[in-house]
Amino acid sequence: MCGCQLVSEGKMRRASSILRKHRASEKVYVPANARDNHYVIAEMALTDELIDLVGEVVDLTQEQPYHKFYQKLAKLAFDVVEECHIEHANFVANNRLVRVRNSDEQQVLHTDKQSFFFYSPKQNSTFKGYFDGAIRSNKVKFLFLATGDNLRVSAASFHQKVLTAVSLLAKKVGLPSDALKVRDHQHLTWDVFARDKDNKESISHTFRDITTRYQHQDVRVNEQATAVTYAVVSVPMTRRLLKGTDIDYDLDKPFEKLYSKISTAFTKANDKHQLKHAAMIANGLSPIVRFDEHASTVINGDIISLGYNPHHESRDITSQWHGGKLVDTIRLVFFATDFDETHKTYGKFVNQVTQAVGSIADDLNWKRDKDYMLMRFNQQLVCRV
């Protein structure tokens, strides 16, 4: 009897030890100065019905026929933002993709296809409209920016507050709540090689699945919601990269060898660290990632939209570059599938990406104590109210 008990206890200790090792592999240590962002975009099509419901006549003989309509809709949104005690929001109707970045300096910059909102969650708040009254936008968007010191802890409550605001806005306009699509974005950004620069202070994360986190805080997630998780690593085009490759500027595509060399290091690192779905973008286009059943790629101006289905495990490592163009930044995109999720977390996946980036850096003779590779870990949830 005692012998059996000893054997059982030994098995339990071994099982416990294995479990601890698994849990340890799921824990990620990120620099304490990592930048946190959380924002929610609610959008709806700009239809004739919406114009009629807002109750503003659009006179196409005017120089800016949609100006008053946009102003009135923005005022409705502002009233809802005030009523729901949301500190930072914007109204956008300019046919541009909305991007948000953490910055101490608050500003908005526009390209032909994108609007970049730079803000600090710890300071400032505003409500402003960005539109051109002369143009009928395809969609109208309401951008809600989270504020505070610990965005991940308060993410579920902010998500719920925005859903309440969106539902109220739809009611004021006269539309059903599900007329607005809600995109919840969370990302954490840090230098992969921060420790090599003597930034030793770190914080541990397990990067739990976004739906799981919300449900644990009693925030309902619609069954039809879709979620994607991915990491984008920005690699600046340093002089060291250029000097490490024989570049013949007399050729039509002088940078072909450079990109081929980086692509080879990228593919090898993915194989080594068992990452099955990733893309290298070195053509000057700005990548966005979206849920797509058919995993299609769409180019629109300076944007390349990378669609993928997280429910599929099939291997897909690709590289896209333009050998005649020297880009400022190379983007390495790593897509997480359902098979990369362990115990409802993506910690192991983030560690695999970090290790892969380390292998790429070794192959490219990267100076970790001087140059950065910026990791932006993204979690995105798309739902209806």
**Residues in Cβ contact with 156 at an 8 Å cutoff, skipping those fewer than 6 apart:** 213, 214, 216, 217, 219
**Residues in Cβ contact with 241 at an 8 Å cutoff, skipping those fewer than 6 apart:** 258, 262, 364
Residue (of 89, 93, 90, 107) closest to 64 by Cα position:
93
3-state secondary structure 198-234: CCCCEEEECCECHHHHHHHCCCCCCCCCEEEEEEEEE
Residues 142-164: pLDDT tens digits?
999 999 988 999 999 999 999 99
Stretch (H or E) spanning 75: helix 67-83
Q: Letter for the amino acid at 163? A: L
Phi, psi for residue 130 in degrees, rounded to 5:
-125, 100
Look up residue 364 and give its two tokens: 């490219």
Per-residue pLDDT 10s for the chain (385 aa) are 555 555 556 655 654 554 455 555 789 999 999 999 999 999 999 999 999 999 988 999 999 999 999 999 999 999 999 999 999 999 999 999 999 998 888 999 999 999 999 999 988 778 899 999 999 999 999 999 999 988 999 999 999 999 999 999 999 999 998 899 999 999 999 999 999 998 889 999 999 999 999 998 889 888 889 999 999 999 999 998 998 888 999 999 999 999 999 999 999 999 999 999 999 999 999 999 999 998 899 999 999 999 999 999 888 999 999 999 999 999 999 999 999 998 889 999 999 999 999 999 999 999 999 999 999 999 999 998 8
Chain length of the chain: 385
Sequence spans of domains, the chain: 35-186, 228-384
Question: How far apart (Å, rounded) are the C-alpha atoms in residues 38 and 184?
Answer: 8
Residues 344-371: pLDDT tens digits?
899 999 999 999 999 999 999 999 999 9
Sheet of strand 97-102, all strands in order from the earlier edge strand to the far edge: 97-102, 114-119, 107-110
Burial bucket for residue 124 (CB in 10 Å: 0-12, 13-18, 19+): middle
Q: pTM for the full model?
A: 0.90
Beta strands in 105-260 (DSSP E): 107-110, 114-119, 127-131, 139-145, 181-191, 202-205, 226-236
Q: What is the pLDDT of residue 23?
A: 57
Strand pairing report for 127-131 and 181-191: unpaired
- CA distances (Å), 159 to each of 87, 218, 304, 332, in order? 14, 12, 28, 29
